[in-house]
């Protein structure tokens, strides 16, 4: 199942992925401290996540439980980026990343190990 999350929804999900199950009130407090959201904004975004099937609401106390893993969203977003910007070519994405960033010898070593492990 693929769920498309907007940046605002990812803010809520990040809190849950870091903290685990939390009451909506605590999510609201954390996002107020982190990015200045008020309670109504947070609750609206939580409700959108519930409608999309990303969060389950558990009573009592409006506890929010993530139904999707961060890795699932990362994979979806990466696949979408590769398809949209690199014509589905992972090697073109990889080449673009390497060309735009100065890699340390440690980074190069890690990348070589990743490629070796894939072979």
pLDDT, mean over the chain = 93
Q: In this predicted structure, which of 41-45, 49-53, 67-71, 111-115 has the lowest mean pLDDT? A: 111-115
pLDDT (tens digit, 9 = 90+) per residue, 27-37? Answer: 999 999 999 99
Q: Does 77 score more than 80 pLDDT? A: yes
pLDDT at 1 over 80: no
pLDDT average, residue stretch 50-67: 97
* Residue 108: CB atoms within 10 Å: 11
Domains of the chain from N-terminus onward? 7-70 (1.10.10.10)
pLDDT of residue 112: 86
Q: In which element (H, E) is residue 63 found? A: strand 63-66
Q: What's the pLDDT at 100?
A: 77
Tens-digit pLDDT profile for residues 82-110: 999 999 998 898 888 888 777 888 888 88
Mean pLDDT (whole number) for 39-58 = 98
| β partners of residue 58 | 63
In a 10 Å sphere around its CB, with 0-12 CB exposed, 13-18 middle and 19+ buried, how is residue 94 labelled? middle
Cβ contacts of residue 50 below 8 Å, gap of 6+?
Answer: 56, 57
């Amino acid at each position: 199942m693929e769920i498309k999350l907007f940046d605002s929804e990812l803010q809520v999900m990040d809190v849950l992925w870091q903290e685990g199950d939390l009451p909506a009130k605590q999510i609201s407090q954390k996002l107020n401290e982190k990015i200045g959201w008020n309670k109504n904004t947070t609750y609206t975004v939580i409700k959108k996540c519930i409608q999309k099937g990303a969060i389950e609401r558990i009573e009592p106390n409006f506890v929010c439980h993530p139904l999707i893993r961060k890795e699932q969203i990362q994979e979806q977003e990466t696949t979408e980026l590769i398809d949209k910007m690199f014509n589905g070519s992972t090697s073109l994405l990889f080449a673009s990343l390497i060309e735009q960033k100065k890699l340390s010898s440690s980074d190069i070593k890690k990348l070589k190990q990743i490629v070796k492990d894939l072979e």
